Structure 1
Amino acid sequence: MASAAPAVSSEPTKKEIRLVIAASSAGTVFEWYDFFIYGTLAALIGQAFFPADNETLQLLLVWAGFAVGFGFRPLGAILFGYLGDKLGRKYTFLVTVTLMGIATAGVGLIPSAATIGIAAPIIVIFLRILQGLALGGEYGGAAIYVAEHAPPEKRGFYTSFIQASVVGGFVLSIAVVLACRFLIPDDQFAAWGWRLPFLLSIVLLVISLWMRFKLSESPVFKAMKEAGETAANPFTESFSYPGNKKRIFVALFGVTGVLTTIWYTAFFSGLSFLRGPMRVEPLTVELILFTAGLISMVFYVIVGRWSDRVGRKKPIMVGALAALVLLFPIFWGMGSLANPGLARAAAENPVVVSGPECTTDPFAELFGNEQTECGRILETLTSSGVRYTLEPADRLSLSVGGEAVPIAEEWLADGSARRDGVQAALGQRGFDFTRQSPPAINIIGLLALLLVSAMLSALTYGSVAALLAEMFPPKIRYSSMSIPYHIGAGYLGGFLPLIAGIIVARTGDIYAGLWYTWAIVAFGVVVAWWGLPSGPPRDFEDNG
């Protein structure tokens, strides 16, 4: 059933369109900066607000806080999607960017857990919830606002700047952290300087509001309002409109599930992998990710423009299928280049753990339980980036390259002693646990692999704003595209670092978390092949 959009009374001028793209993209960059700065500073966030003797548990708690913000994105999509379809696109995303800026600055003002105890992580989680609500309304508003100003033949190109702006937020978060590191000594940055990137959010908020106040309402929404054709209840109509349930299902699993898991694997898993188990110097990692992100922003615009010619389905299918083939090789290559000594030692001297109850529970301490003795050894190996093989036995033992490693009593009682002891014993057998500064040729290789990951992300993400705008009827477009997008991005993507981290902690395989991404993308390929329209782009009234 088709639903023709009301006639737009006047086409925006080229100058107006440039302002629309610039203001919407800048606001999106700032808002995603606010959201990503938490992940960029994950290690320091953990030390300040989630202190734990267990390094794996500390990182998982940080990623749990990261996931909480994403978990509330669907609620924000429902709330602000309703307001966007009822009151207008412009004023709704003015509210979302304000909420995001205030919540982000708040994180920089919270005293540490050492000062106020359990109240610190509770306040952090509350502010992450506010960020999630705000972000749930931001993306749909910015994407639709640009799409409804763009001529149909350039919709993919114009909206691709919104997709590139998401990466821009990540790049800006790293740039600010790098600037702070260069200006503030390391010890002071760890003590208090990490708060400055959060407080900068207030400045970005002022700039964003100034730019967005200069915008006028979307011409499509103005035409609908003048014709009295706005939705009575956008949320319920999103599920009752003919054919919309299928479109929402396809948007959730065939579009968002694919793009979001590839995106977070490329950028956040890459960041966590290099800084964590590969032990690369933080500054080196940030410079590599900054460069990869900055270059990759161009990819999204190229893909968006390409989709105006070949349609939205083709780039998504190409990127998703390529990801299934390349995902593991990319990370294997990164592991070999980032820490060659660790990779070589693992191959030449395989680590074998034997003993009873050889399972690890990363959340045991959190719930007052105790890890088994074998579980403690496994947790230490995992947090050290060491792959191991388990063998059943009646007593606990650890061997490297067939040679037994004596397990000292203090290893089982004290986490720091265990980490130092295990790493020292393995270090004598070729394992390198020092912070890595890879040679220039290896850094170039890491950058190339990250750019391949970014290209996969661009193929599956660059045309999505235009695609989702075209999939849904104008009067319920804000709600209909925001709900599946933020459920997918919030749960399938936002929980990725946490889920992948748990998989790694339980298996002891630093690459095992990639299976989560692979499974989501594989299912999404089937859904996208079945549900996305082929051929040149079409407006909703032509698709309907």
Structure 2
Amino acid sequence: MTGTSATVEREPSQKEIKLVIGASSAGTIFEWYDFFIYGTLFYIIGPTFFPSGNETLEILLVWATFAIGFGFRPVGAILFGYLGDKLGRKYTFLVTVTLMGIATAGVGLIPSAASIGIAAPIIVILLRVLQGLALGGEYGGAAIYVAEHADADKRGYFTSFIQASVAGGFVLSIAVVIACRVLIPEQAFLDWGWRVPFLLSIVLLGISLWMRLKLNESPVFKAMKEAGETAGNPFVESFTYPGNKKRIFVALFGVTGVLTTIWYTAFFSGLSFLRGPMRVEDSLVEIILLIAGIVSMAFYVVVGKWSDRVGRKKPIIIGALLTLVTLFPIFWAMGNLANPGLAESAKARPVVVSGTQCVTDPFADLFDRTQTSCGQVLETLTASGVSYTIEESDTLGVTVGGTPVVFGDDWLTDGASRRDGLQDALSNEGFDFSKQTPPFTSILGIIGLLLVLGLLSALTYGSVAALLSEMFPPKIRYSSMSIPYHIGAGYLGGFLPLIAGFIVARTGDVYAGLWYTWAVVAFGVVVAWWGLPSGPPRDFDDNG
């Protein structure tokens, strides 16, 4: 069935298949929930663990720590991929889900930086490292476990539930935050209630372990073990097996690079875009993302099933090409629906900043560098979602529709005074910096645009577990698919919020960060077109 001379004695029953899919998917939802709750609550975690008085820096530090967790995913892929190919699929992902649950609950127990100083962010970083290691072993184990239980003609459909579960983890994180907001008063939620979603991880861990302990080992792995065909050193053999270097390259750039940047752009960039520069009311953003996420989960299953008929390559190529064409228009339209007054005010009353060395340095405060006066003004305008143009001048100044802004005495020494002062001056000229609640029709439009992004994500992600399982030989499958997947997801995707945020901070254009996604997808679609097999799905033995 899957390219090994060892035979599987008995095909799993339909009841067993449902248990395999259900337990694997539930565990994946819980594990991704643990990872995503950190990003969902970024706006609270920043001032709690990385207080600096600089909103832009705090958010970038949150995304940097978010990225650190992703950065360790390839290490987890190597470690747990080795164990999965040597010891088995089942027990390896029992270890990963346990590690993830404990690390996530730990974040909810860390005192704030105001209480224990620098120790707080250090502990956060260490726990994010453990989460990254755990996640590096989770996806490969769950995906392979389901794939190796499935018939070839249903592999895309069955494994698509694992892909939908990734989105499910994000949806669950949003749902839990909304529930906590309803049950806990707003100020209490900001003070301590945000810790509850992290502590809930212990409950989810118990459920996940209970479900997964009921599972048997993968029939393919058992057959290989009984036949003595397991790999001696799966990590080394992943790079020495004939043709595997090309497969890893294609899996990294042509598959994972495409799917992961689209996924994080759809959900995390959409979340931070609406909540940040567009200033949409926090709870409304969460409801919008919840609805879009729930509906989008169905897309992954539909695409996975479709790929069983048309092959894995076609949906990925279609999704990637459509992303290149529609990415910027979708976000432009979303911005116009979410906060049309901001764009209209900037067009009617253009903001012009004049001065010397007008370049922002988002990490100046962190590395004790001196931010130029003009850079400070630009950074504040960008954080406020205000577009501007720059004119060279010996004198620092800001005009709004040609009207000069009078600087306060402490604007260049106190970030909060500069923000409040600039926003007050712009408000007097017609800018609105209050939290926005768009009309109902606009909310429906935003949800529709997020669903388009969700569909693009599903096209490039829905069939991937089946595809990667089919690309690599069974005896080194866990390692071979986990390494490129988690390097791509860890670095190309996990660093996306940080890189996109940095680009926005440097350019002052809230849409400029999308160029990172566009570039990665453009390169990836070329690699996918060249390297992925066309036609109906084929087992590894058939496509070599």
User: TM above 0.5, one fold?
Assistant: yes
Give the equivalent residue in structure 2 for 1:432.
432
Cα distance between partner residues in 2 of 1:95 and 1:41 = 26
Runs of 4+ in 1 over 3 A off after TM superposition: 2-5
Instruction: In structure 1, give the amino acid aligned to 2:348.
Output: E
Cα distance between partner residues in 1 of 2:399 and 2:264 = 35
| Deviation of the 1:397 alpha carbon | 1.3
Secondary structure of 1:162's match?
A: helix
Give the equivalent residue in structure 1 for 2:325.
325
| Deviation of the 1:387 alpha carbon | 1.0
Give the equivalent residue in structure 2 for 1:84.
84
Secondary structure of 2:438's match?
A: coil
Report if the CA contact (8 A) 1:5-1:541 is conserved: no
Cα distance between partner residues in 1 of 2:402 and 2:318 = 45
Give the equivalent residue in structure 2 for 1:312.
312
Cα distance between partner residues in 2 of 1:412 and 1:395 = 14
Does the C-alpha gap of structure 1 residues 159 and 500 become closer, same or farther in structure 2, counting only changes over 3 Å?
same
| Deviation of the 1:243 alpha carbon | 0.2
Instruction: In structure 2, give the amino acid aligned to 1:110.
Output: I
Aligned ranges 1:257-272 → 2 under 5 Å: 257-272=257-272
Cα distance between partner residues in 2 of 1:18 and 1:5 = 27
Give the equivalent residue in structure 2 for 1:462.
462
Cα distance between partner residues in 2 of 1:98 and 1:466 = 25
| Deviation of the 1:405 alpha carbon | 1.7
Cα distance between partner residues in 2 of 1:20 and 1:300 = 18
Asked if 1:411 is matched to 2:411, the reply is yes
Secondary structure of 2:390's match?
A: strand
Give the equivalent residue in structure 1 for 2:532.
532
| Deviation of the 1:395 alpha carbon | 1.3
Aligned ranges 1:9-88 → 2 under 5 Å: 9-88=9-88
Cα distance between partner residues in 1 of 2:411 and 2:71 = 38
Aligned ranges 1:353-432 → 2 under 5 Å: 353-432=353-432
Report if the CA contact (8 A) 2:28-2:142 is conserved: yes
Cα distance between partner residues in 2 of 1:376 and 1:90 = 53
Q: Which runs of 5+ in 2 are unaligned?
A: none
| Deviation of the 1:430 alpha carbon | 1.6
Instruction: In structure 2, give the amino acid aligned to 1:301.
Output: V
Instruction: In structure 1, give the amino acid aligned to 2:258.
Output: V
Secondary structure of 1:390's match?
A: strand
Give the equivalent residue in structure 2 for 1:473.
473
Indicate the larger mover: 407-416 or 428-437. Answer: 407-416
> Size of the alignment, in residue pairs?
543
Give the equivalent residue in structure 2 for 1:181.
181
Secondary structure of 2:398's match?
A: strand
Q: Which runs of 5+ in 1 are unaligned?
A: none
Report if the CA contact (8 A) 1:5-1:473 is conserved: no
| Deviation of the 1:308 alpha carbon | 0.2
Q: Sequence identity of aligned pairs in percent?
A: 77
Report if the CA contact (8 A) 2:3-2:539 is conserved: no
Secondary structure of 1:290's match?
A: helix
| Deviation of the 1:195 alpha carbon | 0.2
What per-residue deviation string (whole Å, max 9, x for no partner) do you get for residues 380-405 of structure 1?
00100111111211111111222222
| Deviation of the 1:5 alpha carbon | 4.8
Give the equivalent residue in structure 2 for 1:200.
200
Report if the CA contact (8 A) 1:4-1:540 is conserved: no
Give the equivalent residue in structure 1 for 2:165.
165
Secondary structure of 2:195's match?
A: helix
Indicate the larger mover: 502-511 or 396-405. Answer: 396-405
Asked if 1:287 is matched to 2:287, the reply is yes
Cα RMSD over matched residues? 0.8
Report if the CA contact (8 A) 1:46-1:59 is conserved: yes
Asked if 1:102 is matched to 2:102, the reply is yes
State the TM-score, normalized to the length of structure 2. 0.99
What per-residue deviation string (whole Å, max 9, x for no partner) do you get for residues 91-137 of structure 1?
00000000000000000000000000000000000000000000000
Indicate the larger mover: 432-441 or 251-260. Answer: 432-441
Instruction: In structure 2, give the amino acid aligned to 1:399.
Output: T
| Deviation of the 1:444 alpha carbon | 0.4
